Chain A
């Protein structure tokens, strides 16, 4: 996070491996030879070579740095990802393995994941030596067009290029990603609701609010509530719950071993869907017809969604006073060194 002074002077020896942040200074103190920058002010000004250099240095860092390879990659900040790269989080990969362990098809799943890794690695490697198709795709992404997938696939891409298929297949109970057989846990209970008119009329919890309480609560969002302070939230505080259960799981290697799968809506007295409870729970809402009544904005403290509109138009430039170059700069997400406008932005580009 510390800004590298040498970089701003144009002579940092460490380049992209520098421990300090490479941030361009203003155009007045910048001397370095401009490296390939993703956000050039004029789109015509960027060459294929610059685009390719940018991508090569990113991809080189990914491959040599040992980065998680099942990651999407965007050649340019705030632009779409490069198409065709498989996206799977470490947690998704982990779950596939855990499921496979309990389903005894570990070898199958490991070879599957290895195939996906290999596929992605080969795509990253193709980005290092881009062919004409890849360069075209880079250019489309850069221009904000919808890019076409340029990769020549080495393995069975049809199966694995769509990562969501992994979990879709899980729902369909295919042998590879076998999961619980019941797709909808609530399915047995839906009948109860369809016959209950109480729920049909009052599905929403976002009921109208009491303005009085909004004022109080709105100001007190960050205040501490004292009322429950003294009471212990544990009924059986002295009970040592970890003891026996820990030893059980020690003996059992099966990662998926949990307590016996209990009925979803435990016991009768727990059942909040019972008629008596229902009546109580929704008593206050039965009069409400407008379930999503909008809150009265005057009672709510100002926040991030309410932007102050500056009435004084004098602080803005008129569109016609600005050069095309400056406008371009204000339209882009980031200023580029050497092109920082000296005039204030126009009103229309500020909101």
Chain B
């Protein structure tokens, strides 16, 4: 029933290991925004904690702080000024962590675990967007205990991304909804899913020339990614591609692994995907080619992130539950690795 990973070493690519990693799988991984001079990495984990490291120029990581919540963490997000971090938990709340004071304060609540949180910085407002398995999307002034706005989702939120003025939410039962954040948040359109199976991750990408958000990449449990433009100039601009599928075995059927995360390179506009198969790949969506596919690891990769300059690629290794409870081995440790990636993600010369 389940695929087995075997015969591969823990860190085959000799990437830099982050010190004092989380005790359980990483659910969320984010580098600090450009407003902070140093580079910080935060990771939310199933061990109910969020950790923050400083990443030095040498690649050395120094643990700086940690905070906990009453349930596993499902998402984290930076405030644009880099002084605060938002943490979304299965305990149905979101807390704001003031890094300087090292104190937390609840800023949002839902009726079910909160799957995603994103900080929105608009010219005329700032707010926190939260999306939950309670089938709602809420926008919060972090100073108020009631949401500024609540929108219903057709299903439980499985993934969300924000890049002002666009927000994209993927839900159970393959729904996608796009929101415009200009002036105030409003539903923009519902998109029929180009994928046939459960949505898992979504990432907004920008137009190469205008540098404005123009579409999104959507990953599913079927090991497939869809590149979808909000308003495609040509229907053929939208396409899907298979990934994280090792070569077919003798039986003729390929093992299928979920795409666990997608991240776009901030400078090149190319993208990285990580999968349950333990591998990560770099892609050029415009040339429609794979740029690089480093050696696979011995556990699934749950999450990945680029820092804001695009020099560092971080990826988290740990069990993603893709094979269920029976294959959960608490003895297997969680790791986060850092890799210099600027050259590897350069687009294919056209």
Contact = CB atoms under 8 A, between A and B. Distances in A.
Contacts of A190: 145-146
A91 interface: yes
Nearest to B24: A255
Interface string A210-253: 10011001100110110111101111110111100110011000
Contact of A234 (B2, B27, B93, B100): B100
Contacts of A233: 36, 40, 82-83, 99-100
B268 interface: no
Interface in B14-49: 20, 23-24, 27, 34-38, 40, 46-49
A115 to B, nearest CB: 13
Contacts of A245: 49, 66
B123 A300 contact: yes
A28 interface: no
Given A87-B173, A240-B63, A167 B133 contact: yes
B349 interface: no
Given A73-B197, A249-B23, A206 B183 contact: yes
A266 B104 CA distance: 8
Contacts of B24: 255
Nearest to B128: A205
A75 B51 contact: no
Contacts of B71: 95, 256
Given A171-B111, A236-B102, A305 B188 contact: yes
Contacts of A307: 231
B198 A66 contact: no
A272 to B, nearest CB: 5
Interface stretch (A29-37, A42-50, A147-155, A290-298): A290-298
B126 interface: yes
A201 interface: no
B322 to A, nearest CB: 6
A195 interface: no
A222 B194 CA distance: 30
Nearest to A199: B144
B290 A300 contact: no
A49 to B, nearest CB: 20
Instruction: Determine which residue in B35, B184, B198, B255 has the highest number of CB atoms from chain A within 10 A of its CB, and name it.
Output: B198
B166 to A, nearest CB: 6
Interface stretch (A77-85, A132-140, A319-327): A77-85
A204 interface: yes
A297 to B, nearest CB: 8
B145 A78 contact: no
Contact of A270 (B105, B125, B192, B283): B105
Contacts of B152: none
Nearest to A229: B37
B247 interface: yes
B112 interface: yes
A58 B105 contact: no
Nearest to A69: B1
B184 to A, nearest CB: 4
B235 interface: yes
A74 B74 contact: no
B145 A189 contact: yes
Counting contact residues on chain A (CB < 8 A from B), the size range is 35 or more
A94 B133 CA distance: 14
A295 B109 contact: no
Interface in B83-115: 83, 90-93, 99-106, 109, 111-113, 115
A37 to B, nearest CB: 14
A305 B146 contact: no
Interface in A332-351: 333-335
B62 to A, nearest CB: 9
A333 B229 CA distance: 13
B341 interface: no
Nearest to A236: B102
A156 to B, nearest CB: 20
A159 interface: no
A90 B258 contact: yes
A84 B23 CA distance: 37
Of the candidates A90, A258, A293, the one having the most CB atoms from chain B within 10 angstroms of its own CB is A90
Most buried by B among A71, A163, A249, A278: A71
B200 A89 contact: yes
A255 B48 CA distance: 8
A250 to B, nearest CB: 8
A224 B34 contact: yes
B6 to A, nearest CB: 14
Interface in A60-118: 60-62, 64-68, 70-79, 81, 87-95, 97-98, 110, 113, 117
Contacts of A79: 192
A197 B156 CA distance: 34
Given A234-B65, A255-B48, A304-B166, 20 more contacts: A17-B252, A65-B3, A78-B193, A87-B172, A87-B173, A98-B72, A164-B155, A170-B112, A199-B144, A204-B141, A206-B148, A209-B125, A228-B81, A241-B63, A293-B124, A294-B184, A300-B182, A303-B212, A304-B207, A305-B182
Q: Which 7 A-B pairs have the closest CB atoms?
A: A209-B124, A65-B256, A71-B198, A205-B141, A78-B192, A64-B253, A90-B321
Interface of A: 1-3, 14, 17, 19, 21, 23, 58, 60-62, 64-68, 70-79, 81, 87-95, 97-98, 110, 113, 117, 163-164, 167, 170-171, 180, 183-186, 189-190, 193, 199, 203-210, 213-214, 217-218, 221-222, 224-225, 227-230, 232-237, 239-242, 245-246, 249-250, 255-259, 261, 264-266, 270, 272-273, 277-278, 281, 292-295, 300-305, 307, 333-335
22 contacts: A17-B253, A64-B251, A71-B221, A71-B222, A77-B195, A90-B221, A91-B115, A93-B324, A180-B70, A206-B122, A206-B149, A214-B124, A235-B101, A241-B66, A245-B49, A265-B106, A277-B143, A292-B184, A303-B166, A304-B213, A305-B182, A335-B236
Interface of B: 1-3, 20, 23-24, 27, 34-38, 40, 46-49, 51, 63-66, 68-72, 74, 81-83, 90-93, 99-106, 109, 111-113, 115, 122-127, 133-135, 141, 143-146, 148-149, 155-156, 158, 164-166, 172-174, 180, 182-185, 188, 192-198, 200, 207, 210-215, 220-223, 230-231, 235-236, 239, 241-242, 245, 247-248, 251-256, 258, 283, 288-290, 320-325, 328
